[in-house]
Amino acid sequence: MADETLRRNLDRTFDPGPGYPDPLLLSRTMAMLEPPAAAAGRDGRWKGREGSRLSWPRTGLRLAAALLIIVLAIAAVGTFLVAHRALSPSVPAGPPPPRGTIVFGRVVNTNDNEHIFTIRADGSGEKELVATSTCCVVWSHKGDRLSLTTSPAGGSSSGITKAIVKADGSDYRVWPLDTSGLNLGATAWSPDDSRLALEGWDNSRPSLNGLYTADVTDGGNRRRLTTTTAALHDIPISYSPNGSRILFWRGQPDAQTQGQLFLVDADGTHLTQVSPPGMRVWVGFFGDPGGWSPDGSQISFAATSSTASDPGRSAVFVAAGDGTNSKRISDWGDYTTSARWSPTGDWIVFDTINAAAGAHTLFLVHPDGSGTTPITPLAGGCCAVWSPGGDRLVFTRGSSDQVLDLWTVMVDGSHLTQLTHSPASLTDIGWSATA
Amino acid sequence: MHAHSDAGMDDRAEQALIKRAKAGDRVAYEQLLEPAVRPATRLAFAMLHDRSEAEDVFQESALRAWVRLGNLRDESRFQPWFLGIVANQCREIRRGRWWQVLRLPDARAMRAVDDGAWLEGEDLRRAVQRLPYSQRAAVLLHFHLDMPLSDVGTALGISESGAKTRIHRALKRLRPAMAVSEVRVNG
């Protein structure tokens, strides 16, 4: 029975193991309960949270503290306004408004499918790029086109291929499905926008899994660059700035923490592992785990080295442009998932858990490991992408992975701006200079 | 067949315990709570995938239930109500650590089910974690804890048909290659 199979699979998957729960859990819990007399009112009815360990025992003290906080807040705001007014004549004009267009994938609640949207960097003009469910959108370098992944026949078993569309949403062209059944997924554009690096896979013939390149126009002149063992998947991250190498992720398709970063020459030679052996690199929800320095001489990436007591132990690394000599440049942190070089070359933005704030947020660090700076006043920020000029970042922010909006912020933490106002699951963010 | 862990406690006995617990009887409350320890921690573990955090959730939920016991309506059963509190507590925890939740682009997720079988192991865990909260809780309560749909509805504060709808939607995402009609959702 299908449902019994699901039951069995769930039981196996979510088996907490032997000795669980702790046999003393109930007695420990009961010991935490307030005495009934404290929890019950005179009439025997329960009095809200007064019996909880979370309750504040002195309501008067609580009110006094709240009043004090309000008074202090009013005083601080007043002081700020007075100071700001006094200084305002000498304050220089603010930065120019953000320019360009941001693309992103949004999971639409009505059908739980991903749809691609664009929005101008100043928050205006949000629109759906193409009126169909696609995913994995990537800007071309010139910003005139975007690549998408689509299943033209409407089902994964019928084949997945690429589509190219102009930046204004016109001229949507789907590559013909591969006649041999090879699926074509994640993408990176070559620097001259003439070729795409592609993830190719075939579940029925996993020996075909590997990294491929093909012409942008129609997927022609396809060339295979890598082969894998054990049906691994090679997912391209980006070409080097001069187009000679391709940075890619290799791992199990759905085991995002099990992968490693590799480099291969654009002709398929000189395969080199970039991430340190034994460490793992994330790919997927958090976007690209790393990228190239603007001059192509170095690569930044985030990698995880879990321990039993610290499963999120992770850091930012920098390697030489040939993939060798990777070294850690940040302190060990929790769940660092991306490290992306600024277009100006002087910063790497990365995300990790801010221990002080208790939330995942964004940090900057110089490529030599100095100057680590949280981009305040952010909380809950993730997955930042640089503006083309390198003065701003766009990132996701929200209360959960399914109620995210896009925000932008200047590199110095100022001009925090909410771009979208339709909380949803967001992914595949890109920023082009295209107006 | 539903293997309720609170099976054996008849309705009258349970209602008597609830009445005593509402009046502040800790022993009665412990007797109500005892059959819920295992399903509650299993649910919390499935939602959070962390043994220690799941036990914390149980404790916090037990404390919340203790002070909110007056909200439990007459003739209502304790365990579905309590598991609803547990599920809500898990949601609060997950909101605080959303960055650990993984999600795949749709095309990659679709590949995992091309073989026409139910997802298993790590794939299943990730797929379940990707479900919206309400669907995730409904699937785990029904399939993992063997709760009937009526109790799932009680736990989630929705109707029985609403619970069934959520489970159907979830099943599509757990195995899109399989027609939902092939799956029997027990009432």
Domains and CATH numbers, chain B: 1-101 (1.10.1740.10), 103-187 (1.10.10.10)
pLDDT of residue B108: 30
Count of residues making up chain A: 435
pLDDT digits (tens, 9 = 90+) for A307-354: 777 777 899 999 999 999 999 999 998 888 889 999 999 999 998 876
Neighbours of A386 (CB within 10 A): 20
Backbone phi, psi, residue A110, to 5°:
-65, -30
Identify the segments of chain A with pLDDT beneath 50: 1, 36-59, 85-91, 156
To test the contact with chain A by mutation, choose from B19, B67, B93 the residue with the greatest count of A C-beta atoms within 10 A, namely B67
- Identify whether the C-beta of residue A303 lies closer than 8 Å to the C-beta of residue A309: no
Is residue B14 within a helix (H) or strand (E), and if so which, with residue range? helix B11-22
CA distance B16 to chain A (A): 16
pLDDT of residue B49: 76
Comparing CA positions, the residue from A353, A319, A356, A320 lying closest to residue A334 is A353
pLDDT of residue A266: 97
- Nearest CB to B107 within list A185, A337, A360: A185
Contact B25 A36 (CB under 8 A): yes
pLDDT digits (tens, 9 = 90+) for A137-186: 999 999 999 999 888 765 545 688 999 999 999 999 999 988 888 989 88
Is residue B93 within a helix (H) or strand (E), and if so which, with residue range? helix B78-96
Contact B95 A400 (CB under 8 A): yes
B112 residue type, one letter: A
- Identify whether the C-beta of residue A396 lies closer than 8 Å to the C-beta of residue A381: yes
- Nearest CB to A112 within list B45, B122, B173: B173
Q: Cα separations (Å) of A121 from A83, A96, A258, A426?
A: 31, 12, 34, 16
pLDDT of residue A101: 97
Residue corresponding to tokens 């220089």 = A92
CA distance A342 to A298: 12
CA distance B162 to chain A (A): 16
Looking at the complex, does the CB of residue A32 fall below 8 Å from at least one CB of chain B?
A: yes
* Chain B, nearest residue to A109 by Cα: B132
- Nearest CB to B105 within list A36, A44, A428: A428
- Nearest CB to B55 within list A12, A22, A157: A22
- Nearest CB to B24 within list A7, A39, A253: A39
Contact B67 A48 (CB under 8 A): yes
ipTM of model: 0.75
Looking at the complex, does the CB of residue A149 fall below 8 Å from at least one CB of chain B?
A: yes
Greater pLDDT, A164 or B98: A164
- Nearest CB to B64 within list A7, A25, A52: A52
A215-237 burial, b if ≥16 CB within 10 A, otherwise e?
Answer: ebeebeebeebbebeeebbbbbb
**Sign of the C-alpha dihedral computed for residues B162, B166, B171 and B177 taken in this order:** positive
- Identify whether the C-beta of residue A298 lies closer than 8 Å to the C-beta of residue A321: yes
pLDDT of residue B8: 53
- Listed by number, the residues of chain A in 62-101 with a beta carbon closer than 8 Å to a beta carbon of chain B are none
CA distance A52 to chain B (A): 6
* Chain A, nearest residue to B103 by Cα: A285
pLDDT digits (tens, 9 = 90+) for B121-152: 666 777 787 777 778 888 899 888 888 888 88
Count of residues making up chain B: 187
Greater pLDDT, A338 or B102: A338
Residue corresponding to tokens 């960055």 = B99
Contact A160 B110 (CB under 8 A): yes
Q: Mean pLDDT throughout B2-19? A: 71
Looking at the complex, does the CB of residue A312 fall below 8 Å from at least one CB of chain B?
A: yes
Superfamily assignment of A101-432 in CATH? TolB, C-terminal domain (2.120.10.30)
User: Which residues in chain A are contacts of B147 at CB distance < 8 A?
Assistant: none
Asked, as a colleague might, if the bond just before A176 is cis with ω within 30 of 0, I would say: no
User: Which residues in chain A are contacts of B128 at CB distance < 8 A?
Assistant: 10, 13-14
DSSP B116: S
CA distance A81 to chain B (A): 33
To test the contact with chain A by mutation, choose from B82, B104, B108 the residue with the greatest count of A C-beta atoms within 10 A, namely B108
CA distance A393 to chain B (A): 18
Contact A2 B182 (CB under 8 A): yes
pLDDT of residue B139: 87
Q: What is the 3-state secondary structure (H, E, C) of chain A?
A: CHHHHHHHHHHHHCCCCCCCCCCCHHHHHHHHCCCHHHHECCCCCECHHHHCCCCCCCHHHHHHHHHHHHHHHHHHHHHHHHHHHHHHHHCCCCCCCCCCEEEEEEEECCCCEEEEEEEECCCCCCEECCCCCCEEEEECCCCCEEEEEECCCCCHHHCCEEEEEECCCCCCEECCCCCCCCEEEEEEECCCCCEEEEEEECCCCHHHCEEEEEECCCCCCCEECCCCCCCCEEEEEEECCCCCEEEEEEECCCCHHHEEEEEEECCCCCCEECCCCCCEECCCCCCCCEEECCCCCEEEEEEECCCCCCCCEEEEEEEECCCCCCEECCCCEECCCCEEECCCCCCEEEEEEECCCCEEEEEEECCCCCCCEECCCCCCEEEEEECCCCCEEEEEEECCCCCEEEEEEECCCCCCEECCCCCECEEEEEEECCC
- B178 pLDDT above the threshold of 70: no
CA distance A290 to A423: 26
User: Which residues in chain B are contacts of A337 at CB distance < 8 A?
Assistant: 99
CA distance B118 to B135: 17
In chain A, domain spans = 59-86, 101-432
Greater pLDDT, B168 or A316: A316
- B104 pLDDT above the threshold of 50: no
To test the contact with chain B by mutation, choose from A25, A54, A351 the residue with the greatest count of B C-beta atoms within 10 A, namely A25
DSSP B158: S
Is residue B80 within a helix (H) or strand (E), and if so which, with residue range? helix B78-96
CA distance B148 to A7: 13
Greater pLDDT, A100 or B176: A100
